[in-house]
Structure 1
Amino acid sequence: MGQLCAKCAQLLYDLVLSVRTFSSSLVQDVKECLAQICDCPCLKRTKFESEQLYKPTYQRHEELIAQEFLQHIERGFEILPLGEASLSALKTLAFSENPDLQKSASLFYLHISQHLNNQLPTEHLETYYALLKSNDLEVQRISSLSLVTFLLKGNVPKEHVVQVDLLEPILELLESSDAAVQRNSCACIMILAASDTNREAIASAGGVVPLLTLSKSYDPRVQQYAVGAVFNLTQSEWVQEILCRQGALPVLTVLLESPDSEVQYYSCAALSNMATNSQHHEVMLQIGDRFLLRMLLALLSSSVDKVSNQACVCLRNLVTNESVQTRLIAMGLLPHLLPLLDSNNTEVQQNSIVFLRMLSQHPANQDVLVCHQVLQSVGKLLIIRKTDPVIIGHAACFIKNLSSSKSIEGVIESSCVEGLLQAIHGVEYLDEEALHCVTSCLGELVKHEGGSVRILELMDDLLLSRLLRLAGQVEQMEPSFQAAVMIKHLIQQGEVMQLLKSHVSKIQQYLVKYLTHQETRFQQLGISTLCLLQKDSEFSSAFSQSQLKEHLEQICQQTEEMQELLRMAVGNIFVGVPSSHR
């Protein structure tokens, strides 16, 4: 037993006074006093913190096993075979009442945790239960550290730790007064919580409250691991509800002010996960006077990429309604967000352009976004990242959203158009979704007179060839259709008509596919394009000698038959119907 603390000494003093005065509540006083003394950590102090009144004696078989292990340690920590014999010996030491013997076992595990290259047999985790439950602080430190090492190296499966009931002693160590034990136990929980199957077990066992408490620790490493564990827990929607009830949102929000970038990152990432559920938004936005939004805006300018990236993601998850977006723009969002487009980090650029695209979906924001600085940054991003399908796709959607703005001229005159056309040049790097976004955006811009003129200025034979090839790939229906829309609008410009004359065969091939397509819109686009091209004598002559003529004749015949059937159907419907009701 260690020396009594001031609190326990005062309790005993009060007890003495009660005895002297023969208080009628003496028995109750004794019970309450002893109960509080037993619960005080001062009684759990180990021998190296204060002199113990009782020291367990060595049992003979324990002493022999300890000597054997010490000999191996003295020879340079040679690893013993992890068989039945060594397991039995380790259990003997671990379950001993003597802390020195427990320490021998914990040191052995610490050593092999640094050298073991394969999995630790599950049976050894039973030994850990005794070591983690030890009253000796040094044993707690060493054994928890070796368990962290095993988990980090993958020598011990995360799920096995929970399955063999080690979660209970690990959670108990979270409440230790020793910073080293707190660090190790927090690190253990952080690693365990990375497993889907463990998160609910940790929350159900009461791990949330001590983790939130330690996330405010003055020890930087304890705080980092505790917040990291909370972040991992937020990846479960069920645990998110528990975290909310336990007051995690205000704690995580305040931690955004931490000078430690790791704490900022984990707390911001945890809030990002919470913000994926719109039911949490009201509570999150009510913390302080827009405190969360102000902190996230500030973190957008962090010099640490992963922090600024998570701040962007969190804001993106919060702005699901127009009012929050309007508020953010009024608070000066754009000056903080635009520099992220120029980042050297691809993930940061991706998340920032996704955020911009979301902002552009609401008409109220579009006029603000159609400004030179925004369009210049997006255009530059398109040109630099022309092979990144995520950036290209979302940037194209952003520009298309702005094409309905009254300030469409600003979009047309920007470098965004050049960036989109360069994406067509690198079409082999784009997936179908990104390609659809690009062609759809260009198809919308070319409908504007200024847009077709601007695209024509940047048009060359190679780009036109790419468009013709896209138009012919009807298996990619949307990109193919939008490419053909562009060609149709550009045909009305004389320069493009001249460029097309060297691609007559490609034009015929895609027009035949359109005329025979099952969708009416493709047929109509093919016919309207053909009509424009036939105004030129060279095209008219070429088409008259190709399969196009036969397909047109078939369409005409089908149309005549359809019209006749329609006349018959209409006539039958009106048979017997008085003329006044027709």
Structure 2
Amino acid sequence: MQVADMASVLCENCSRLLKGFAVNLRTVCRVFRERVRDVFRELSHCTCFRIAPERTYLRTTQELHTLHHLYDDGANLLNQKSLQALSTLAASENIDLQMSAAVYYLHLSHHLTSPLPNTFVEPIMPLLLSTDPDVQKTISLSLVNLLIQNNVCKELVIEMGMLVPILELFQSGDATAQCHSCACVAMLASAESNRDAMLVDGIIPLLALAKSYDPQVQQNAAWALLYLTQSDWSTRILCEAGAIPVLVLLLQSSDSEVQFCSCSALCNIAAIQEHHPKMLSIGSHYLLKSLLILMSSSVQKNSAQACRCLQTLSNNVLMQEQLMELDCVLPLKALLKASAAVWTEPAITLLSALSAHPPNNDILISEGLVDEIGELLHHHRPSSVIIAHSCKIITNLCSSCMGQQAVMEGLCLSGLLRALLSSTLADETLLHVTSCLYHMMTLDPVKSQLLPTVTSEHVSRLVKLSGQIRNAQLSYNCAAIISTLEMSEEMVELLRPHYMSMSEYLLAFLQKKDVKFQQLVIITILNLKKDGDFSSLLANSELEVQLWKVHAQTEETRRLLQMIQPFSPSPVIP
């Protein structure tokens, strides 16, 4: 029964009240309807109501049927009906339909476990060219995910012309769109064949985005620049476009990932010698100061990367001088104390390069570097890189009396002997250890300090390595150390058990055509003959027979040389 009918059977007062209620109710309903319509009109423009296809407002029954094909088979994301639907929706002028296609690609990017067929890549292009920024942001994010998972061929994306709309997103002014476009460029640039295309139109806007105040945009721009420095040609173009000052500026970023990417990019640039003047020309040693500050970062991968960058630059003598002026030794020593070898190795590599420049050595010694090296060699299990560069540093620093004194007073010598006994070191690392030890044995003050610490284990190890045949230089180094051992009573006792083994490797050395091995044998035998037991062993042995053969050959060579009259050395021809 309507309100008006009810009013006819009621008293005048009740009828009046009900009629007034009816008027108010119609007014309230009209206002409520208008407010609901306004709310849903605003909501329809928000991306929240565009993310799921089921929330998209469709205008025709045919369009609804097209979208239905995308979801009518949840187990098969890539069928012909889905392709036709995506192509139709992507080409539509209806923004809601375009968003539906973009969201479906986003769904694909999260669930696809195999490469996306080329035919499914084609509808991405019209979505990138959409006039709606939300569609562009959604499809560019989908493309980033697909590229990261290697579900889309990077070269195909370039061939289809997608780079142009991706680069246009740089200029959108929207931080999210810029972030997605930078990430796309970074992934596309990771394919070397695409880098040329990146450089044509992308460098200048990319450098501009690297200066963005939005951390995520800055991070993705730095990431893209890092990928572009992985080829010599693109690196050269980047530098010509002014990338170096921008990358140096990014070292000061508050974002650790931006710091890492920019530092890694600078490290790649520094690998090409021709860029050094430009890198070092930034006023007041700005690059070196920034790298030294970053080297003290609490984020260890950044401090290690800064150290690698400095080490790459360290071939430049001018840079070394500037580094020493900036008191670089202290932060480098701090890195030597790091618990993980991955952080220590870049520091000791740079210190090794600095020690190879003699003017730096007095400062390095006075800063206590020798003590730090000794500690490192006594570390539980120092890496091969640490041991190799420790040996180089010790050798370099011992070129002065002050360095020799520091080595004798510290733990370096015992550390070297400790490394010699390690059964886990590769031949390449043992070469550094034995070369350093042999050098120490040629320095009389150091030798006098080293000899009393040599034990039977050390002698056994040296003899064993001298007799191995896989690495001739390692054999030579070890035999050379043995040849320098003074035949004191204690040393003779250590050597006697090995006379037979030593005779075997000495015989093998004599049979080599390399004169340096033959000369080492003669020096060793001359030293060992100070012990009567060895002299007895040598008498009438195969070693002695071979020794006389070498003697006869040498005499014959000398006689033939004397026949050349007049005999004068020829000038050395460069």
Where on the TM-score scale, by shorter chain, does this alignment land: which range? 0.7 to 0.9
2:413 aligned to which of 417, 439, 449:
417
AA aligned opposite 2:371: Q
Structure 1 position 325 matched with structure 2 position 340: no
Question: What residue number does 1:293 align with?
Answer: 288
TM-score, L = length of structure 1: 0.84
The question of whether the paired residues in 1 share the 8 Å contact of 2:210 and 2:218 is answered with yes
AA aligned opposite 1:290: H
Structure 1 position 170 matched with structure 2 position 171: no
Query: 1:345: how far off?
Result: 3.0
Question: What residue number does 1:122 align with?
Answer: 118
The question of whether the paired residues in 2 share the 8 Å contact of 1:372 and 1:410 is answered with no
Structure 1 position 489 matched with structure 2 position 484: yes
The question of whether the paired residues in 1 share the 8 Å contact of 2:95 and 2:132 is answered with yes
Are residues 363 and 385 of structure 1, via their aligned partners in 2, closer, same or farther at CA, if it must alter by over 3 Å?
farther
Query: 1:358: how far off?
Result: 0.7
Equivalent residues in 2 for 1:100-139, closer than 5 Å: 100-139=96-135
Instruction: Give the whole-Å Cα distance in 2 for the aligned partners of 1:359 and 1:336.
Output: 14
Equivalent residues in 2 for 1:226-245, closer than 5 Å: 226-245=221-240
The question of whether the paired residues in 1 share the 8 Å contact of 2:476 and 2:517 is answered with yes
Structure 1 range deviating more: 123-132 or 77-86: 77-86
The question of whether the paired residues in 2 share the 8 Å contact of 1:385 and 1:392 is answered with no
Instruction: Give the whole-Å Cα distance in 1 for the aligned partners of 2:224 and 2:360.
Output: 38
Structure 1 position 145 matched with structure 2 position 146: no
Instruction: Give the whole-Å Cα distance in 1 for the aligned partners of 2:214 and 2:326.
Output: 34
Question: What residue number does 1:66 align with?
Answer: 67
Instruction: Give the whole-Å Cα distance in 2 for the aligned partners of 1:562 and 1:91.
Output: 88
Query: 1:208: how far off?
Result: 1.0
1:82 aligned to which of 63, 68, 78:
78
Query: 1:322: how far off?
Result: 2.3
Structure 1 range deviating more: 334-343 or 487-496: 487-496
Equivalent residues in 2 for 1:336-347, closer than 5 Å: 336-347=331-342
Query: 1:104: how far off?
Result: 0.9
Question: What residue number does 1:9 align with?
Answer: none
Unaligned runs of 5+ residues in structure 1 are 1-45, 50-55, 575-582
Structure 1 position 99 matched with structure 2 position 95: yes
Instruction: Give the whole-Å Cα distance in 1 for the aligned partners of 2:525 and 2:537.
Output: 12
Instruction: Give the whole-Å Cα distance in 1 for the aligned partners of 2:560 and 2:525.
Output: 27
Structure 1 position 303 matched with structure 2 position 304: no
1:429 aligned to which of 425, 449, 456:
425
Instruction: Give the whole-Å Cα distance in 2 for the aligned partners of 1:339 and 1:545.
Output: 60
Structure 1 position 350 matched with structure 2 position 351: no
Instruction: Give the whole-Å Cα distance in 1 for the aligned partners of 2:559 and 2:231.
Output: 63
Instruction: Give the whole-Å Cα distance in 2 for the aligned partners of 1:548 and 1:68.
Output: 90
Q: Deviations over 1:343-396 (max 9, x none)?
A: 123222111111111101111111222246211212222232656222222221
Q: Deviations over 1:187-208 (max 9, x none)?
A: 111122222222222112x111
| 3-state DSSP of counterpart to 2:151 | coil
Query: 1:507: how far off?
Result: 1.0
Question: What residue number does 1:23 align with?
Answer: none
Question: What residue number does 1:440 align with?
Answer: 435
Query: 1:272: how far off?
Result: 1.3
Structure 1 range deviating more: 457-466 or 529-538: 457-466
Query: 1:92: how far off?
Result: 0.7
The question of whether the paired residues in 1 share the 8 Å contact of 2:463 and 2:478 is answered with yes
Q: What is the aligned residue count? A: 514
Query: 1:514: how far off?
Result: 1.8
| 3-state DSSP of counterpart to 1:462 | helix
AA aligned opposite 2:80: E
Moved over 6 A (4+): none
The question of whether the paired residues in 1 share the 8 Å contact of 2:427 and 2:474 is answered with no
| 3-state DSSP of counterpart to 1:120 | coil
Question: What residue number does 2:199 align with?
Answer: 203
Query: 1:248: how far off?
Result: 1.4
AA aligned opposite 2:426: L
2:263 aligned to which of 257, 268, 280:
268
The question of whether the paired residues in 1 share the 8 Å contact of 2:427 and 2:471 is answered with no
Q: Deviations over 1:135-183 (max 9, x none)?
A: 1112112111111111222222333322332222211222222221111
AA aligned opposite 1:148: V
Question: What residue number does 2:505 align with?
Answer: 510
Question: What residue number does 1:41 align with?
Answer: none
The question of whether the paired residues in 2 share the 8 Å contact of 1:370 and 1:411 is answered with no
Instruction: Give the whole-Å Cα distance in 1 for the aligned partners of 2:301 and 2:461.
Output: 38
Structure 1 position 224 matched with structure 2 position 224: no
Instruction: Give the whole-Å Cα distance in 1 for the aligned partners of 2:159 and 2:343.
Output: 39
Structure 1 range deviating more: 236-245 or 376-385: 376-385
Question: What residue number does 2:155 align with?
Answer: 159
Question: What residue number does 2:39 align with?
Answer: none
AA aligned opposite 2:267: S
The question of whether the paired residues in 2 share the 8 Å contact of 1:234 and 1:274 is answered with yes
1:557 aligned to which of 538, 552, 558:
552
Query: 1:527: how far off?
Result: 0.9
| 3-state DSSP of counterpart to 2:368 | helix
Structure 1 position 335 matched with structure 2 position 330: yes
AA aligned opposite 2:121: L
1:454 aligned to which of 449, 461, 478:
449
Query: 1:127: how far off?
Result: 0.9
Question: What residue number does 1:570 align with?
Answer: 564
Instruction: Give the whole-Å Cα distance in 1 for the aligned partners of 2:518 and 2:532.
Output: 23
The question of whether the paired residues in 2 share the 8 Å contact of 1:445 and 1:451 is answered with yes
The question of whether the paired residues in 2 share the 8 Å contact of 1:79 and 1:112 is answered with no
TM-score, L = length of structure 2: 0.85
Question: What residue number does 1:364 align with?
Answer: 359
Query: 1:231: how far off?
Result: 1.1
Query: 1:428: how far off?
Result: 4.2
Instruction: Give the whole-Å Cα distance in 2 for the aligned partners of 1:371 and 1:498.
Output: 40
| 3-state DSSP of counterpart to 2:144 | helix
| 3-state DSSP of counterpart to 1:257 | coil
Equivalent residues in 2 for 1:31-50, closer than 5 Å: none
| 3-state DSSP of counterpart to 1:155 | coil
2:278 aligned to which of 269, 283, 292:
283
| 3-state DSSP of counterpart to 1:429 | coil
2:539 aligned to which of 544, 548, 560:
544
- Identity rate, percent: 41
Structure 1 range deviating more: 363-372 or 226-235: 363-372
The question of whether the paired residues in 2 share the 8 Å contact of 1:107 and 1:143 is answered with yes
Are residues 251 and 560 of structure 1, via their aligned partners in 2, closer, same or farther at CA, if it must alter by over 3 Å?
closer
Unaligned runs of 5+ residues in structure 2 are 1-43, 48-56, 568-574
2:525 aligned to which of 498, 523, 530:
530
